[in-house]
Amino acid sequence: MEKAASSSVERDSPSIWPGPFFTMSTTTVSTRLPFCLASSDYLLMIEPSDTRGCWVYFSTQGSGGILRTTARDLIDYPLGVQQVVQGAQYVEVGPGIGGFIPFLSQNAQTGRIPLPIAIDPANYLEMRRLLLDARAEELGDEVCQRLDILVERCNIMLDSRMVRLIPMRLEEAVRRFPDLAFCGDVVVSNNCIDIYGSPQERLLLDRLCKGSVFLR
Ligand SMILES: C[S@@+](CC[C@H](N)C(=O)[O-])C[C@H]1O[C@@H](n2cnc3c(N)ncnc32)[C@H](O)[C@@H]1O
């Protein structure tokens, strides 16, 4: 059963993201898609998608402009990373809420690989809170199922038994954690450094990688 349109707008409108990329109106923000919800730092967007039911992502203000945190599934990652290499140290720069790190974490639980390393300044606590708030909005079964998956991915990112999360930009991470140098057998940056990284960070990606597998 759908709730009245715009209920979330009225409650949240003072903090709705004022970014120029998005024109806000009460008809756009409704319990039907597209749906959005804002906190002080993030705007959660849920849009309809022909191919996968819905497309969920976050926008926030980065130092260089609007930054998106997306949630691609494992199938959307480069083909080469979908077969885990036994014993390999995996590093993902900018995992967001993608499906790759959770997939690796499961493999780490069985002892096939060491804990994966994730480098991302995203605020997973805040994003999880928004996902849970959206979950309460009765947006339909398909959306709820997707939100449950993404909440679980945030739980994994926040669990130090599942992943070594380094919650900062790559540049700072390499400066503060010298052990990251040449630590990765496989280094992945899916829709991150090429889009959001500084020129310096594009070079730094090489410094993470001791192996020959390097996918971006
Ligand atoms: C577009 S999302 C990609 C998420 C996921 N890999 C995917 O393919 O759906 C980009 C992610 O990179 C992170 N990010 C942006 N700049 C970064 C940087 N300099 N170092 C590390 N992570 C960064 C953002 O916080 C965001 O979570």
Does the beta carbon of 170 lie inside 6 Å of ligand 1? yes
Residue 148 predicted with pLDDT over 70:
yes
Residue 138 predicted with pLDDT over 50:
yes
Residue 165's pLDDT band (cuts 50, 70, 90): very high
Residue 108 predicted with pLDDT over 50:
yes
What is the extent of the structural domain holding 175?
2-215
In the structure encoding, which two tokens stand for residue 118, read together? 């994730």
The answer to whether 154 touches 131, Cβ cutoff 8 Å, is yes
Report the atom number in ligand 1 closest to the C-alpha of 170. Answer: 20
Span 21-33, average pLDDT: 46
Does the beta carbon of 216 lie inside 6 Å of ligand 1? no
Does the beta carbon of 70 lie inside 6 Å of ligand 1? yes
Does the beta carbon of 165 lie inside 6 Å of ligand 1? no
3-class SS of residue 42: strand
Total number of domains in the chain: 1
Higher pLDDT, 118 or 5: 118
Sheet holding 209-215, edge to edge: 164-166, 117-119, 90-93, 184-188, 209-215
Cis amide bond preceding 114, omega within 30: no
pLDDT for 187-211, tens place per residue? 999 999 999 999 999 889 988 998 7
